[in-house]
Amino acid sequence: MSWQQRISRRLEERAAAQAWRCRSALQPLDGCRIRFEGRDYCNFASNDYLGLSRHPAVIEAWRQGASLYGVGSGGSGHVTGYTPAHQRLEEALAAWLGYPRALLFISGFAANQAVIGALLDKEDRIVADRLSHASLLEAASLSPAALRRFVHNDLPSLAGLLDKPLGGQQLVVTEGIFSMDGDAAPLADIAALTRDRGGWLMVDDAHGIGVLGDEGRGSCHRAGIRPDILVVTFGKAFGVSGAAVLCSESLADYLVQFARHLIYSTAMPAAQAQALHAALAQIRAAEGLRAALQRNIRRFRHGAGLLPWQLAESQTAIQPLIVGDNARALALARQLRARGFWVTAIRPPAVPAGTARLRITLTAAHSETDIDELLEALRDGESQ
Ligand SMILES: *Cc1c(COP(=O)(O)O)cnc(C)c1O
């Protein structure tokens, strides 16, 4: 089969499975409204949970950073791309989260790939929650270590895998809040079990950082644990993009030597680091926004409990409605769109087969009316 035949065949299969993905060029209007092809929508699909992507102080910090440092970093951090702005942000993140060191990465995807790629050898084992993010599972399957996946949030399943004989080291991998389900990992129990078996724990808290815990320190802080490796990302509640790995002094030194995504990739712009520093200050003081988000979550769950779909075990901003069938999920998303709500239908392989869903995300910027109207549109959609 030629390259072209292979590509055409795979595209046809995608379309036939109702799994076709496409992008829409959306114009953001404010905290939760977007414009597409001349029409305005209320956005229930964004991870900008606190609305910080448009915060004036964050925008101003980026502007000033650009004036001071230019818009590009000009190289990897190992060459000339590391500035006092990067250094200050790393120090602030480490102090905020209670770690000796923080290392910046351009994305959460890169951070996960870099850590797993640099750390694991052939005789090692990665024991990851089955529902871990694609960036973690992909990194794990690319690494020479064995990948074993435990049943989602299931401690006996985790223990069973950890107890299997092994020559090398083992790394337990989970998320703080699961990106497609919104539920929380039992972090304290996982940490205890991992420590007991002599392994290391890596937690990706992309969806917990900024929104959970005191000053938004995230899932681990809330659970009273400090994993060996904590990955936080800045594309969600921080409203920007990028990521940081929090770890010990020696692991940070090790990653600076061996993490290929740091060495062979242009560092994040210093202006972005300045903006992130400003976003961090906003996050620490955002108790009001976090409370507004919690009110919105409660209001949505109360209303959605009366709908016929299974409501997930989620107390977070991620509120999936599991519809099951791909075509049905797409049809519902289309009906919502016709009513002015932007919600995405998430289908396999992003989620397990037969669990296509509307992944509704709430933010502090939604009003009670936005939520009530979405619920009404869902009720009407269901009866069609
Ligand atoms: C979004 C996300 C990532 C990827 O982070 P980016 O900064 O967007 O690359 C990694 N892990 C989880 C759990 C995520 O939800």
Q: Supply 194's token pair.
A: 């991992």
Is 207 in the active site?
yes
Query: Under a CB-based contact definition with an 8 Å cutoff, are residues 172 and 200 in contact?
Result: yes
Pocket test of ligand 1: the residue of 179, 211, 241 to mutate, having most ligand atoms within 8 Å of its CB, is 179
pLDDT at 330: 92
Quote the percentage of the chain above a pLDDT of 70: 99
Whether 302 is catalytic? no
Nearest C-alpha to atom 14 of ligand 1 is from which residue?
A: 206
| Annotation marks residue 204 as catalytic | yes
* Distance of alpha carbon 353 from alpha carbon 223, whole angstroms: 31
Ligand 1 lined by 107 (C-beta under 6 Å): yes
Closest CA to 178 of 355, 384, 334: 355
Instruction: Please give the full DSSP string across 189-202, using - where no structure is assigned.
Output: HHHHHHHHTT-EEE
Helix (H) or strand (E) segment spanning residue 233: strand 229-233
In this predicted model, what pLDDT tens digit does every residue of 89-140 receive, in sequence order? Answer: 999 999 999 999 999 999 999 999 999 999 999 999 999 999 999 999 999 9
- Which pLDDT does position 243 carry in this prediction? 98
Rounded to the nearest angstrom, the distance between the alpha carbon of 117 and the centre of ligand 1 is 17
For 59, the 3-state DSSP assignment is helix
Could you give the domains of the chain? 21-50+287-382 (3.90.1150.10), 56-284 (3.40.640.10)
Q: Pick the catalytic residue: 73, 86, 124, 133?
A: 133
> pLDDT tens-digit profile of 209-226?
999 999 999 999 999 999
> Does residue 186 have its Cβ closer than 6 Å to ligand 1?
no
What mean pLDDT is predicted for residues 65-69? 98
* Ligand 1 in reach of 208 Cβ (< 6 A): no
User: Is the CB of 233 inside a 6 Å radius of any atom of ligand 1?
Assistant: yes
Tell me, letter by letter, the H, E, C secondary structure of 337-348.
HHCCEECEEECC
Q: Is 47 a catalytic residue?
A: yes
Residue 261 is a catalytic residue: no
Task: Judge whether residue 382 has pLDDT over 80.
Answer: no
User: Rounded to an integer, what distance in angstroms lies between the CA atom of residue 262 and that of residue 3?
Assistant: 33
- Residues 201-207 have a mean pLDDT of 98
- Which residue's C-alpha comes closest to atom 1 of ligand 1? 206
Q: Is the CB of 207 under 6 A from ligand 1?
A: yes
**Continuous segment of H or E residues that includes residue 84:** helix 84-97
Catalytic one of 43, 46, 47, 143: 47
Residue in 327, 325, 311 with CA at minimum distance from that of residue 375: 311
Cα–Cα distances in angstroms (integers) from residue 129 to residues 113, 154, 163, 201, 280, in the given order: 16, 8, 16, 12, 29
Residue 182 has pLDDT above 90, yes or no: yes
Asked if pLDDT for residue 357 goes beyond 80, the answer is: yes
Rounded to the nearest whole angstrom, what is the distance from the C-alpha of residue 186 to the centroid of ligand 1? 20
pLDDT at residue number 73 = 95
Q: How far lies 209's CA from each of 92, 97, 129, 251, 350, in Å?
A: 15, 10, 19, 21, 22
Q: How far apart are CA 152 and CA 313, in angstroms?
A: 13
164 counts as catalytic: no
CA dihedral 53, 56, 57, 58 (to 10 degrees): 20
Question: 110 C-alpha vs ligand 1 centroid, how far in Å?
Answer: 9
Would you state the pLDDT for residue 384? 63
Residue 136 Cα to ligand 1 midpoint, Å, equals 9
Phi–psi pair at 289, nearest 5 degrees: -70, -40
Write out pLDDT tens, residues 127-157: 999 999 999 999 999 999 999 999 999 999 9
Is residue 366 part of the annotated active site? The answer reads: no
Exposed/middle/buried for residue 10 (C-beta within 10 Å: 0-12, 13-18, 19+) = exposed
